[in-house]
Structure 1
Amino acid sequence: MKNIIFAFKDDLPKYKQIYEQFKLLIEQGKLDANEQLPSIRELAHSLQVSRNTTLMAYEQLVAEGYIRGEGRKGFINELETLSFQETLSSHYKKPPESLNPILIDFRAGAVDQEHFPLKIWRRMSNQVLTLSESFQYGEPFGEVCLREQIATYLLQARGVKTDAHSIIIGSSTQQMLINLGHILKDDFLSIIVENPGYDGARESFKFHQFSFETLPVHETGADLLQLERMKSRLIYVTPSHHSPYGVSMPIQQRHTLIQWINKMKGYIIEDDYDSEFRYTQQPFPALASIDSARVIYLGNFSKSFLPGIRLSYMVLPQPLLNRYKKQFLNFESTTSILSQFTMAKFMESGEWNRHIKRMRLVYKQKMQHLVSEFKKQFDQNISIIGEQSGLYLLVKVYSERSEEWLIQQASLYGVKVYPTSIYFVNNNTDIPIIKLGFTNLSFEDIQLGVKLLKKAWS
């Protein structure tokens, strides 16, 4: 075989560049079918990389059908023998589907079914169906009874002073952001977003063709000093539980951000998701509790209660509220009137506060168990991010393996884990970081899942 020599670039893992080079040579017909490949050791020596790096490249080529192994030797496959599905898959750079059944799914966003108040929710839902109002379309901005309950809750739990009139009910955070973007785009051409940050928010802003400035966020918090060089007067942040790092913005930084936005005469969009679940101390007050005139507050019931309920809410400052209601007055509500009435009863009866207190303890115990199992199984090969709050954990894996490889390898052992590269504006992390939700897993599931990951990643 011809010598494979090329210059490595700095922005991609070396194993991936080797894989791409071989793939290109095979697809262009520059390597003959059934031609023998250099050994892992020979290729590593030729390219001045580790044997592990060449092994990873070969493994990916085998998985996608470009090469095959026969004994201890490797050979080029005939391109025509690749199935249409394999070709399509490799074109989009998707890992091959695992044939192994998923035993443990570390998906974030599910809820603990065992502790869900099913009987109470069902009883209240049945009561709601006896109301004549349940057989109508309802209010375009949400039912008043629910908005009143949310206003009471926000004052008690988050220190936000508002009233039912200032609250808008919607189906999801993304839907609220798309609607909000419609009334903001005439006055604001750009927006500051966190990097890394919630990709769903970025997609909502892209919908209205906002240009982006990025605020760097590290595992220790946001770099607010960078705000001084930015021109945008609109910023989207997740201060109570950063997405994805999970770090909370300290009170000093919150005041700094408020002072900056007042100077800029713009608005902060505060996404307060997961704020109920802080395990080491009481949650910090919301930004909207410090200055309601410059903060647009977003909250939802999907993470803390039930994803399928499709209930979110937004508190708007008065100037934006008037414009929003004028713009969307003739549009029907995007969320179920039955869910709204039931949640209003659930909150009014005190069940909501009882549920949050109960689940905070349940999820704290699960978080601690997950952290304990990782420390037991992986020792010094990982670091854990975000264990103080929230409904998922991040695990930084110190190895030459890529995020894609870690996820694919886990699936071969029946474990589904999730990427964090999607949260980065350039979809790139120096060291792979894996996201693991735990809310709908038992203690036994968590223990088994981590043991399987240990086998998969060893």
Structure 2
Amino acid sequence: MKNYLFVLKEGSPKYKQIYEQFKSLIEQGNVKADEQLPSIRQLAESLQVSRNTTLTAYNQLVAEGYIRGEGRKGFFVNPLEPSLYEEPPILPNKKKLEKKSSIRVNFRTDVVDQSHFPLKRWRRIANQILTLPESYRYGEPFGEISLREQIATYLLQSRGVRTDENAIIIGSSTQQILINLGHILQEDYSSIIVEDPGFDGAREAFQFHYFALEYLPVNETGVDLSQLNQMNSGLIYVTPSHHSPYGVSMTIQQRQTLIKWANKIQGYIIEDDYDSEFRYTEQPFPALASIDATRVIYLGNFSKSFLPGLRISYMVLPDPLLTRYKKQFRNFESSTSIFSQLTMAKFMENGEWSRHIKRMRLVYKRKMTFLVSLLKKHFGQKISIIGEQSGLYVLIKLYLRVSEEWLIERAFSNGVSVRPTSIYFIKNHSEHPIIKIGFSGLSFDELEDGVNLLKQAWL
């Protein structure tokens, strides 16, 4: 059985890209009739997508007759008439090749400021950790106690969340934690409410367990809770401190409404507090879990605020769920490096973490202010800027008669990489295209260069 190394890009549903690439291989004869395709699980693992994504792609291919399912044997390619799909060779278009340019400025959102990373301090502590005997063993299944203790202290001081180390679960990423959590929650729930627009990675995790999704509308001014009591699910996933992607924060009244709703129906709120450290106009808002920890599942991570590649996220569970979670996963090994956990624990214990956050809040605030001033200067009334109060990116809504795809392609042809926002929207679509640009990993010169190039591309 072949391995299919598909390239999945941003901006288009993953299932659609898998479907289209298989369809092309079959039509071109690169996959032969009666050849067996990888199983749903195998393909999902090789492409690092959910099984629901690969299942949707296969179902579309089955529906159109390209492949067939044979019970437990798997999926097989159906024969096609090759002459129908033969095309004359296409000569390279020199003009298109000339237009394609290398990226000069990448407004990516998955990086941090490397120039201000405390490399020497981190390396010194890491070297100390390597001398400890505990660095040379498998980790605790729910995370190292030293790190869980430090997180508990940090959450109380910075987010107002009262918990102890035993209620904290360490994982490698928010998605991985949500997948594990979904396994527990699906015993009592078959659906979940998610924000629209909202974090697509969370939706993927919930769909992994085939949760039905209900959608809570969010706009630039905030979340709409007016229909909450008419919804069927007893679960809700929200990003209350810094909505993804709009960047708005829930008011105290909205937070109280959510807590009352959860208590009334005995449901749970999953609070993703993914980058609450970086708020530039006021102090970070208290977490939902600080109001009522009995009905809130709190999620946090070190990816946005410290180092994406560290792969440390964490979850605080209410007692009933904690007992069930630990019973279910007590025989599973930790998915997070013990070395990274021990190093981060010592980093926090030495006060380096709090110093880093204070320093980076100032750095990112200056970058945010500079970027917003450049955008306003060059684009004026042709755009509105969304989310400039917090976070590591801004959204640009453009009042031009163009599509999101056109904006991204024009930027790329001019040497700039920007991100789409259509992936976050389900039903509650924006009337105008919105582009996401991150600034955390760029210098001031790169920010200025990037905005100048965007102006040349779009105006």
TM-score by length of 2: 0.79
- Structure 1 partner of 2:425: 424
Q: Structure 1 residue 85: deviation in Å?
A: 11
Cα contact 2:288–2:296 (8 A) shared by 1 = yes
Q: Deviation per CA, 1:58-91, whole angstroms, max 9, x where unpaired?
A: xxxxxxxxxxxxxxxxxxxxx94464999xxxxx
Q: Structure 1 residue 425: deviation in Å?
A: 1.5
Counterpart CA distance in 1 for 2:184 and 2:258 is 23
Q: Structure 1 residue 99: deviation in Å?
A: 2.6
Q: Deviation per CA, 1:385-442, whole angstroms, max 9, x where unpaired?
A: 0000000000001111100000000001100000000001149532100000000101
Cα contact 2:196–2:428 (8 A) shared by 1 = no
Counterpart CA distance in 2 for 1:234 and 1:260 is 10
Counterpart CA distance in 2 for 1:328 and 1:96 is 52
Counterpart CA distance in 1 for 2:451 and 2:433 is 17
Q: Structure 1 residue 131: deviation in Å?
A: 0.5
Given residue 140 of structure 2, which amino acid in structure 1 is its aligned partner? E
Counterpart CA distance in 2 for 1:137 and 1:228 is 46
For the pair 1:115 / 2:116, whether they are aligned, the reply is yes
In structure 1, runs of 5+ residues without a counterpart are 1-78, 87-94
Q: Which has the larger radius of gyration?
A: 1
Cα contact 1:190–1:213 (8 A) shared by 2 = yes
In structure 2, runs of 5+ residues without a counterpart are 1-85
Q: Structure 1 residue 262: deviation in Å?
A: 0.5
Q: Deviation per CA, 1:11-51, whole angstroms, max 9, x where unpaired?
A: xxxxxxxxxxxxxxxxxxxxxxxxxxxxxxxxxxxxxxxxx
Cα contact 1:421–1:427 (8 A) shared by 2 = no
Counterpart CA distance in 2 for 1:248 and 1:354 is 25
- Structure 1 partner of 2:208: 207
- Structure 2 partner of 1:149: 150
Counterpart CA distance in 2 for 1:298 and 1:247 is 18
- Structure 2 partner of 1:246: 247
Partner SS for 2:309? helix
Q: State percent identity of aligned pairs.
A: 70
Given residue 454 of structure 1, which amino acid in structure 2 is its aligned partner? K
For the pair 1:272 / 2:302, whether they are aligned, the reply is no
Q: How does 1:85-234 map to 2 (within 5 A)?
A: 99-234=100-235
- Structure 2 partner of 1:408: 409
Counterpart CA distance in 2 for 1:142 and 1:82 is 56
For the pair 1:312 / 2:313, whether they are aligned, the reply is yes
Counterpart CA distance in 2 for 1:172 and 1:96 is 39
For the pair 1:359 / 2:355, whether they are aligned, the reply is no
Relative to structure 1, is the Cα distance of residues 85 and 420 closer, same or farther in structure 2, using a 3 angstrom cutoff? Answer: farther
Number of aligned residue pairs: 372
Q: Structure 1 residue 283: deviation in Å?
A: 1.3
Partner SS for 1:288? helix
- Structure 2 partner of 1:396: 397
Given residue 310 of structure 2, which amino acid in structure 1 is its aligned partner? I
Relative to structure 1, is the Cα distance of residues 98 and 262 closer, same or farther in structure 2, using a 3 angstrom cutoff? Answer: farther
Counterpart CA distance in 1 for 2:355 and 2:168 is 23
- Structure 1 partner of 2:441: 440
Partner SS for 1:191? strand
Q: Structure 1 residue 227: deviation in Å?
A: 0.2
Given residue 208 of structure 1, which amino acid in structure 2 is its aligned partner? H
Counterpart CA distance in 2 for 1:174 and 1:293 is 22
Q: Deviation per CA, 1:191-228, whole angstroms, max 9, x where unpaired?
A: 00000000000000000000011000010000011102
Counterpart CA distance in 2 for 1:436 and 1:181 is 31
Given residue 420 of structure 2, which amino acid in structure 1 is its aligned partner? P
Cα RMSD of the aligned pairs, angstroms, is 1.7
Counterpart CA distance in 2 for 1:184 and 1:98 is 51
- Structure 1 partner of 2:381: 380
Q: Deviation per CA, 1:169-209, whole angstroms, max 9, x where unpaired?
A: 00000000000000000100110000000000000000000
Counterpart CA distance in 2 for 1:398 and 1:300 is 35
Counterpart CA distance in 2 for 1:160 and 1:369 is 33
TM-score by length of 1: 0.79
Q: Deviation per CA, 1:237-280, whole angstroms, max 9, x where unpaired?
A: 00000000000111111111101111111000000011000000
